[in-house]
Amino acid sequence: MELKKRIYRVLKMRFLFIDESEKQKNRYQRYFFSLCGLMVDEENLISLNNELNKIKEEYGFSNLKELRGGISREIKLEVTHKVFQILSSNDAEVITAILGDIALKYVTTVNNVYFDALTFLIERFFIHLSKENKRGIIIFDSVDKSLENKLRNKFYDYISTQPLVMYSKRKGYFREKIFPSIFFSDDEHTTILQATDLIATSLNSAVWTALQDNGKKFSVEKLHERNEYLRIYWPLFVKSPKGRVNGWGIKIWW
């Protein structure tokens, strides 16, 4: 029996919920596009979903994204703190990929924009799974059906054939840790994706504000100072052993 328990612990699953932002630009004509991923372990999946649903019931929301609408700042901050506490207590973590205008200049189709950003999230997800000896499944917010089909094909080929290479060394094939099918879910029916969207929205706002101020350069480590909601979510972003989010919880290609 003890052996079975140890095997079960080793083979636990981790889910990566991904929400996207539309391509945006600021007054300096600096474009950017981002994907935000929320990592959740299987043992926390149901409790996290149920606790987030209780917030919707408490405030009369049909969707957590209603926080982006005409609600008072006090209520927004109050709910944001509650969402953060629930995510934190369920050990959720955030990883994000942002493509800047230079990177986007060389992307020829919309599906390549999504997939180029997705590859970073896949790599970071794989590293976490390897470190914790877990297996992973990726769930993406629904997009256009034709785009979903293209992403499915690209995702399957990438996971099935590509290894992670770091410092010229192969760290293993993605298929060893990540299930090769990507799942799409309407966020209307997935409260965890709604929470992911809230984090993505706060990050996008922070990036947009930073670009408005500086035009080209800004400090990734200080992005949380640009948005009061991102400041609340900031502890959820994956950080390096030295406490840096750049390249770990947030990866930017300008």
Q: Is residue 4 part of a domain?
A: no
* Integer angstrom CA distances of residue 75 from 83, 184, 224: 12, 31, 20
Q: Is residue 40 part of a domain?
A: yes
Closest CA to 83 of 35, 45, 42, 51: 51
Q: What is the pTM of this model?
A: 0.89
Closest CA to 207 of 184, 182, 232, 225: 225
Rg of the chain (C-alpha set): 18
Q: Is residue 72 part of a domain?
A: yes
Q: How confident is the model at residue 230 (pLDDT cuts 50, 70, 90)?
A: very high
Q: How confident is the model at residue 134 (pLDDT cuts 50, 70, 90)?
A: very high
pLDDT of residue 249: 93
Q: Choose the most confident range, by mean pLDDT, from 21-35, 40-54, 140-154.
A: 40-54
Q: Is residue 50 part of a domain?
A: yes
H or E stretch at 96: strand 93-100
The structure tokens listed for 7 are 């095997």
pLDDT of residue 27: 47
Conformation bin of residue 184: beta by default, left when phi > 0, alpha when psi is -120 to 50: beta
pLDDT of residue 26: 46
Q: Is residue 45 part of a domain?
A: yes
pLDDT of residue 13: 94
Q: Is residue 8 part of a domain?
A: no
Q: Note the Cα 31 to chain centre separation in Å.
A: 19
Calculate what percentage of the chain has a pLDDT beyond 90: 60
Of 10-14, 93-97, 137-141, 229-233, the poorest mean pLDDT is in: 10-14
Question: Facing residues of 139 across strands?
Answer: 17, 183
| Domains of the chain: total | 1
Amino acid at 230: L
Q: How confident is the model at residue 222 (pLDDT cuts 50, 70, 90)?
A: very high
Q: How confident is the model at residue 152 (pLDDT cuts 50, 70, 90)?
A: very high
Task: Using CB atoms within 10 Å of the CB of residue 64, give its burial: 0 to 12 exposed, 13 to 18 middle, 19+ buried.
Answer: buried
pLDDT digits (tens, 9 = 90+) for 80-110: 999 999 999 999 999 999 887 655 655 566 6
- Domain of 191? 14-253
Task: Using CB atoms within 10 Å of the CB of residue 71, give its burial: 0 to 12 exposed, 13 to 18 middle, 19+ buried.
Answer: middle
Of 33-37, 92-96, 234-238, the poorest mean pLDDT is in: 33-37
Report how far residue 152's alpha carbon sits from residue 148's, in angstroms, rounded to the nearest whole number. Answer: 6
pLDDT digits (tens, 9 = 90+) for 161-219: 999 877 667 779 999 999 999 999 988 889 999 999 999 999 999 988 888 876 667 88
Question: Facing residues of 41 across strands?
Answer: 14
pLDDT of residue 186: 87
Identify the CATH number of the domain in which residue 237 sits: 3.30.420.10
- 8-state DSSP, 162: P
Q: Is residue 76 part of a domain?
A: yes
* 3 state SS of 13: strand
* Residue 118 CA neighbour count, 13 Å, CB half: 23
pLDDT of residue 58: 95
pLDDT of residue 240: 92
Q: Note the Cα 101 to chain centre separation in Å.
A: 20
Q: Is residue 5 part of a domain?
A: no
Beta strands in 46-150 (DSSP E): 93-100, 135-141
